[in-house]
Amino acid sequence: MKRFSRAWFSLAIGATLISLAQAAHTQTPRPLALMPLPSSLTLQGGEFEIPSDLTIALASTDSERLRNAVMRFQKRLADKLGHPLTSHIITASAGTIILDIASDGEAVQGPDENESYKLTVTASSIAIHAPTTVGAIHALETLFQLVQPVNGTYSIPQVNIDDSPRFPWRGLMIDCGRHFEPIAVLKRNIDAMGAVKLNVFHWHLTEDQGFRIESKLFPKLTGKGSDGLFYTQDEARELVRYARARGIRVVPEFEMPGHSTAWLYAYPELASGTTPTGIRREFGVSDTAIDPTREATYHFIEQFLREMTTIFPDEYVHIGGDETPAPDWKTKPRIQAFMRAHHLRDNAALQAYFNQRVLAILTSLHRRMMGWDEILTPQLPKDVVVQSWRGIASLDAGARQGYSGVLSAPYYLDGMKPAEVHYLADPIPADTQLTAAEQKLILGGEVAMWGEHLNQHTIDSRIWPRTAAIAERFWSPQNVRDIPDMYRRLEIVSVELESLGTQHLTSEDAGLRDILRAEDISALRVFASAFEPVSFSERYQQQHTDQLTPLTTFVDAIRPDPPIRFHLELATQTFLGHPGSNDSQTSAARDQLQSFFTSVAASIPTVELEAENAPRLQPLKMRIEQLRALTSIGQQAIASLSSGTAAPSGWKQQSLARIADAQKPSAMVRCLFLPQLTDLVNAVQ
Amino acid sequence: MKRFSRAWFSLAIGATLISLAQAAHTQTPRPLALMPLPSSLTLQGGEFEIPSDLTIALASTDSERLRNAVMRFQKRLADKLGHPLTSHIITASAGTIILDIASDGEAVQGPDENESYKLTVTASSIAIHAPTTVGAIHALETLFQLVQPVNGTYSIPQVNIDDSPRFPWRGLMIDCGRHFEPIAVLKRNIDAMGAVKLNVFHWHLTEDQGFRIESKLFPKLTGKGSDGLFYTQDEARELVRYARARGIRVVPEFEMPGHSTAWLYAYPELASGTTPTGIRREFGVSDTAIDPTREATYHFIEQFLREMTTIFPDEYVHIGGDETPAPDWKTKPRIQAFMRAHHLRDNAALQAYFNQRVLAILTSLHRRMMGWDEILTPQLPKDVVVQSWRGIASLDAGARQGYSGVLSAPYYLDGMKPAEVHYLADPIPADTQLTAAEQKLILGGEVAMWGEHLNQHTIDSRIWPRTAAIAERFWSPQNVRDIPDMYRRLEIVSVELESLGTQHLTSEDAGLRDILRAEDISALRVFASAFEPVSFSERYQQQHTDQLTPLTTFVDAIRPDPPIRFHLELATQTFLGHPGSNDSQTSAARDQLQSFFTSVAASIPTVELEAENAPRLQPLKMRIEQLRALTSIGQQAIASLSSGTAAPSGWKQQSLARIADAQKPSAMVRCLFLPQLTDLVNAVQ
């Protein structure tokens, strides 16, 4: 939706980026580590050397939010440099860093907030111009990412950046219903969201498995429905402030009429028929549903939502609305009578009636309604927003009918897919059939982090760094699609995010230590590098988990799409280009592959011994055996390909059979190198 | 103070522990991993196999606190096993685990709380008997530590334990004044305290550098004195509840009359003369002091402390009282006149007057006063408790005068000493000269974690696992002093503590990644294993830090007393016993030493390259050079000693000179293997 500047086209491909820098000025050629990439960037050559005494001048707007953002920047900068930094924030038009910000922005940030900024770095100063504080916050994040080492010291390249987001709605949903996440976890994730310019934290607060937000009007919601694991109103308000300080909106979700066991256990009078006897521990779709036929239901919802608007100022309220089979609606005479009286011919029609009533309540509370695909029914007014978990066809169908939409289906993190798969999925693909007007209705996208298999230790590695790549999809121009360059930058951003507070890298070590109950996990760490978690649904097939299932097994410790996976892919393709060659590229690729297979193979005897004393490694016994065979096949394939000698008769068939065997489900993890190994084996004569 | 049972003596030495198990029953010999060791333990042979369905019977007391403790135990047990565990808590006298608890204990836990328990594990059931819920909480921690892998599955050895603490006051002080620590950090540290049976969290809440507890009566205390970094009253109350649930008291400290810059910046009318113009950023002793001569001062303190008693129910309130040079008291005519009028001949006398007034206030609030050594002045009533930072002589002197005392001097973690040094320091050493009555006045000890060089990322590795060893000193019989066995158990407990939530192990990796700004830190990790942080005072000499100094350098990432240090010490002594021998012990020791020197040496070229691009590694250049030489000396020494050949002429002298050179201050870290290397070099012919 935004125009790309000319400068952009030279930036879009990583390799070109370096040569651009080299062409413009031979002094300090180095690739940048920005993510998301700005819509326009021109390197001017040379560096801005960071002085130990900074004067930060607020040239126009001087708000508390802006000052706090500047102070956070200062602190992070000093931490990155590792030495003290004296700095002064003054109201003036000149300084080391000048922030010329036209206004603090809307009192309540919405999708229309102007988030653009201009950032100019010269040899002597840094200038940020933005229409709002939110733009300034984004500019400071870009500036922080520009601070990179050159010749043993940190500096900032001289640069002109003119940046604004492609989509106004760039969200991350975290499901805190199925498993509760402490506030500290949400705060560190909001920090990370800010670092990659996401702007909507969609807070999934209620589920069959738990009601997580305090209601003073209806205290049993958490009193009975949460196991004591919920956010107080003060905590929620503080989180809203925390997010706003980082340019992030908080859209709360209260699931209705389905996914409502916790509501109905607390207040059985709201139930359609079957009343729950406790919080639901099982996952999956529940039969319980709020009764849409009683006036008391709407009175309750009106009071509840009114109370929630005192906590959540955002214009949008998400009512869920998905997965409501509600068999009671089909069988209860009272409900059937109501449906006949109101000419509602099926459950979908009854749910549409319910939605209309809730919409009227929200409208009276000056809120707009948002819901999952299912809320989209013919009578629905056009000012609701549909979040699509069904996919782009469903999203586009909504847009053609005039509904605003947010795409979520391709951004389900529990699919455990590689970042590149999410990255290439576009809310408005290049070949979209939507008209320009319809495209305007696609507000953006939302990453969905469902909570069945999450706890506070594992959540970060499921969200990060993959979500940073998706954040680029939502912010940067449509043609930014260079996978190797994305992965190159993602590795740097990943570490920067941990510096900011997430634990997606260290949590793997912590998980492995917890399993081994020993500090030294060097062998297990190498062994683990050969595996990824399987997807949510594959896991669910292998182990029928519920809310009380411990999440402390090997699959919980390891990460989806670790960097090694893409490195192996690159090395395999490079090596297979000229497997017999000894040119430097091929040799490096061969070394990488050999080193991987050799070191994983070397870890096996130790891990095997350790498994004897680590009960939670016992289910991996079959994987250990497979890995022994597979690493050996890898080494043999490289040897054959390098020397150009044919494999013994039957080897290829046997090897492919071994690979096929390793693809069968076991221990809820998959060997991450099977596609590359298959390519190698197939290439052998 | 407690009697040791006969069983104890066979347990006190690790090696004997194993042979005890072997002698009694040949079935499953294995060393236990308890810390602190119980005062009496008898292994019965055989195992209790943990069923997947547990019935936990509350036979007498059935309190919310007890139920919560049992539920936490259940959850942790399932997490440890890694598979679902069905469990039911019932009120009955029979079950898989029976808790027969006489009472919930005192409404406010004090030093007199009965913390003893008996734990009996047979083949078919587990019984816990304790006079209070606090005893039951300790018993559950012991039981959890007993869950260890045998033959690929977790089980619990059949055992009789009769346990109670040697000292009633077993504390950890955390300074949250100089650097603020978020509540989540305190909670995870309180969890860890509970795991090793510490029972007093001493919360150092005010400092020159920050006032950290909200006062609604005097809002400027945090409004001006905290940079916005403080605990709300709700948060503090919640922390008190959290600690009580784990059998831990919370003793708050409000420093007066010195260390009070934050108070006086907020309320200058309390100042003796010089009024601060801001929060003090520098560390060290400040000249500012509360004015002890004005009635308004006592009115303020009375109101403030009254408010604090609504948050902190503990019988004790710590008033600090240390380091108050207060030059204003010597120069201000008004103060001098007051001193003459009240016959107070010097600053010490004036401070004693102040303490008496504060004591009267505390007494009226039904609280007892605690303070650092300096409060101990002749007129002080005997019901105050003195915390000794000056050492055991000062502590004993207090006891001889009839004062109760708590020892802290040998437990200053910022000295960065090995665990064994703290471990051997005893509040009542075997050769104490105190009478039995005087010994009763020694309530115990407190670990002190001062905050100059701490932040939320580094604090855990300064506290843990060393504090677990000190906790054993405070709990277990006096003659439990086996260093190798302590270290053996400490390595296991260390990992268990991380599983419980501390980050002392993973924080090193996170810190190194933050420095390198790269995910792969394998070389730097090995390199770092050769170093420890220098002590607080050595660091302060090399870098005059203040509150705003970034704590993101190499010294902040690495840990004091990592396991490798003691392993090297053991290996060196073993190897030097028979350096030319090829018996299995000597060979293993030789291999360990060689492997250490070889792998550290191998890491150097990579780290050297990485340092070029990691500005925060630049100060380590000299250390890199030294390590190259030192590892080579180590390898040469092992070779000479193994082959029995003499070193070339001058080699020894040159090598010792290199070692001496490496002992000079640089980069705020020390090579941790220099004592062992010196021994090796000296042993060469």
Whole-angstrom Cα distance, residue B496 to residue B473?
19
Q: Test A514 with B503 for CB contact under 8 angstroms.
A: no
Per-residue pLDDT tens for A618-645?
A: 999 999 999 999 999 999 999 999 999 9
pLDDT at A431: 96
Has residue A6 got a pLDDT over 80? no
Crossing angle between the packed helical segments B563-577 and B483-500, to the nearest 10 degrees: 160
- Residue B247 token pair: 């059998």
Per-residue pLDDT tens for B138-148?
A: 999 999 999 99
| B495 interaction partners in chain A (CB closer than 8 Å) | 513-514, 516-519
* pLDDT, averaged across chain A: 94
Q: Which amino acid is at A584?
A: S
| Residue B311 banded pLDDT, cuts 50, 70, 90 | very high
B495: distance to nearest CA of chain A, Å?
6
Q: Which among B47, B495, B503, B504 is the top mutation candidate for probing chain A, defined by the most A β-carbons within 10 Å of its own β-carbon?
A: B495
Q: How far is CA B568 from the centre of its chain?
A: 24
Has residue B451 got a pLDDT over 90? yes
Q: What is the rounded average pLDDT of the residues A451-467? A: 97
Q: What's the burial of A484, exposed, middle or buried (CB within 10 Å: 0-12/13-18/19+)?
A: middle
At A584, is the secondary structure helix, strand, or coil?
Answer: helix
DSSP label at residue A12: S
Per-residue pLDDT tens for B593-648?
A: 999 999 999 999 999 999 999 999 999 999 999 999 999 999 999 999 999 999 99
Give the residue among B473, B108, B581, B497 at the shortest CA–CA distance from B317.
B108
| B611 interaction partners in chain A (CB closer than 8 Å) | 152
pLDDT at B383: 86
Quickly tell me which residue has 């940079």 as its tokens: B227
Helix H or strand E segment including B573: helix B563-577
| B498 interaction partners in chain A (CB closer than 8 Å) | 510, 513-514
Q: What is the DSSP string of B235-284?
A: HHHHHHHHHHHTT-EEEEE---SSS-HHHHHH-GGGBSS---SS---B-S
Instruction: For chain A, give the number of residues.
Output: 685
pLDDT at A378: 80
Cβ-proximal residues to B57 (8 Å cutoff; 6+ apart), any chain = B90, B91, B92, B93, B94, B95, B96, B97, B98, B99
Whole-angstrom Cα distance, residue B572 to residue B389?
35
- Residue A227 token pair: 């196991």
Bridge partner list, B128:
B99, B119
Whole-angstrom Cα distance, residue A270 to residue A263?
8
| Residue A36 banded pLDDT, cuts 50, 70, 90 | very high
Q: Is B323 annotated in the active site?
A: yes
B69: distance to nearest CA of chain A, Å?
14
- Residue B582 token pair: 């090829």
Is it true that the peptide bond before B579 is cis, omega within 30 degrees of 0?
no
Cβ-proximal residues to B482 (8 Å cutoff; 6+ apart), any chain = B12, B13, B14
Q: What's the burial of B299, exposed, middle or buried (CB within 10 Å: 0-12/13-18/19+)?
A: exposed
* pLDDT, averaged across chain B: 94
| Residue B274 banded pLDDT, cuts 50, 70, 90 | confident
Whole-angstrom Cα distance, residue A246 to residue A65?
9
pLDDT at A28: 38
pLDDT at B30: 56
Bridge partner list, A637:
none
Whole-angstrom Cα distance, residue A594 to residue A587?
10
The single residue of A235, A302, A323, A538 carrying the catalytic annotation is: A323
Whole-angstrom Cα distance, residue B370 to residue B248?
17
Per-residue pLDDT tens for A543-570?
A: 999 999 999 999 999 999 999 999 999 9
Q: What's the burial of A166, exposed, middle or buried (CB within 10 Å: 0-12/13-18/19+)?
A: buried
Has residue A312 got a pLDDT over 80? yes
Q: What is the rounded average pLDDT of the residues A453-457? A: 96
Has residue A20 got a pLDDT over 80? no
pLDDT at A2: 31
Let me know: does B421 contact B146? Beta carbons within 8 Å: no
Has residue B14 got a pLDDT over 80? no
Per-residue pLDDT tens for A657-667?
A: 999 999 999 99
Has residue B29 got a pLDDT over 50? no
pLDDT at B37: 98
| Residue A5 banded pLDDT, cuts 50, 70, 90 | very low
B5: distance to nearest CA of chain A, Å?
31
Q: What is the rounded average pLDDT of the residues A224-231? A: 97
- Residue B307 token pair: 């408010």
Per-residue pLDDT tens for A65-83?
A: 999 999 999 999 999 999 9
Q: Are strands B200-204 and B249-253 parallel, antiparallel or unpaired?
A: parallel
Nearest CA in chain B to A547: B84
Closest residue to A154, CB basis, from B548, B563, B615: B615
Taken in order A577, A578, A579, A584, the sign of the CA dihedral is negative
DSSP E strands in B373-504: the ranges are 385-388, 404-407, 442-449
Nearest CA in chain B to A611: B152
B237: distance to nearest CA of chain A, Å?
15
Report how many Cβ contacts below 8 Å link chain A to chain B.
130
Q: Residues of chain B with pLDDT > 70: what percent?
A: 96
DSSP E strands in B610-661: the ranges are none
pLDDT at A7: 30
pLDDT at A13: 27
**Which CA distances in Å does A649 have to A645, A653, A655, B210?**
12, 9, 11, 76
Q: Test B495 with A517 for CB contact under 8 angstroms.
A: yes
Cβ-proximal residues to B383 (8 Å cutoff; 6+ apart), any chain = B368, B369
Q: Which among B50, B80, B453, B542 is the top mutation candidate for probing chain A, defined by the most A β-carbons within 10 Å of its own β-carbon?
A: B80
Per-residue pLDDT tens for A579-613?
A: 999 999 999 999 999 999 999 999 999 999 999 99
Whole-angstrom Cα distance, residue B382 to residue B402?
6
DSSP label at residue A217: S
Whole-angstrom Cα distance, residue A430 to residue A440?
14
Let me know: does A244 contact A190? Beta carbons within 8 Å: no
Closest residue to A82, CB basis, from B84, B518, B553: B553
Q: What is the rounded average pLDDT of the residues B272-281? A: 93
Nearest CA in chain A to B457: A501
Quickly tell me which residue has 């690739």 as its tokens: A31
Has residue B313 got a pLDDT over 80? yes
Has residue B33 got a pLDDT over 50? yes
Let me know: does A623 contact A672? Beta carbons within 8 Å: no
Q: What is the rounded average pLDDT of the residues B298-322? A: 97
pLDDT at B376: 87
Has residue B21 got a pLDDT over 60? no
DSSP label at residue A479: T
Per-residue pLDDT tens for A482-500?
A: 999 999 999 999 999 999 9
pTM over 0.80: yes
| Residue B206 banded pLDDT, cuts 50, 70, 90 | very high
Q: What is the rounded average pLDDT of the residues B574-583? A: 97
Closest residue to A563, CB basis, from B505, B519, B616: B519
